Amino acid sequence: MDFHYELLEETRKEIKNIRFFRKDVEINAEEYEVIHDYDEAYENAFDREYEEPEGQTWVDIFEENMAEVRGIIYEHDNYAELNKIVHDIEIPELNDIKFPIDDISVKEEMYSEIELCAKSRFICGKGNAFFESLFKAYKLGGWPCGWKNGGIRQRFGYCHNGYDI
């Protein structure tokens, strides 16, 4: 299996440049839905069950997509060795991000999602549409916090917590 080491390094540089809730960013309304209400964004991220896929939460959808990425590793005979390589990847650049939300559960979720975007790129390159869209949302300065249109097109809400994007 060929991992994407160069892309991982590129991704680390991009992570260093993440600035949340920027005012200088154009958001494509066809690609992303902007949610300005923190409580609505929080509900979308942690509590809401979506109609498509039926009964799943954002966390379920996220984990299902990560399972697909990890499934690539398990197709190989030396999956334990490959899994350890991926598991041991550290992204110290995440420690430099200024998370604008005080809620520790939201910070941890954002941190984890960005880390898993980097690991998806390491495994799949830029071939996983879900994680590429998620990472793009973070690079634009948003908090991806939900799902729309049942997977036909991933659309992520942003919570800007009082700032105009």
Residue 63, domain member (yes or no): yes
Q: Which pLDDT does position 75 carry in this prediction?
A: 95
Count of domains forming the chain: 1
Residue 67, domain member (yes or no): yes
Task: Give the count of beta carbons closer than 10 Å to the beta carbon of residue 56.
Answer: 17
110/94 Cα distance (integer angstroms): 10
What is the mean pLDDT for each group of 10 consecutive residues in the chain (165 residues)? Answer: 96 93 76 80 85 82 93 95 96 89 87 96 95 90 77 44 39
114/92 Cα distance (integer angstroms): 12
76/33 Cα distance (integer angstroms): 38
88/37 Cα distance (integer angstroms): 36
Residue 37, domain member (yes or no): yes
Residue 164, domain member (yes or no): no
Task: Record the tokens describing residue 73, joined without a space.
Answer: 């590793």
Residue 165, domain member (yes or no): no
Structural Rg of the chain based on CA atoms:
16
pTM metric for this prediction: 0.87
Q: Which pLDDT does position 162 carry in this prediction?
A: 42
- Residue 34: domain span: 5-159
Residue 10, domain member (yes or no): yes
Residue 54, domain member (yes or no): yes
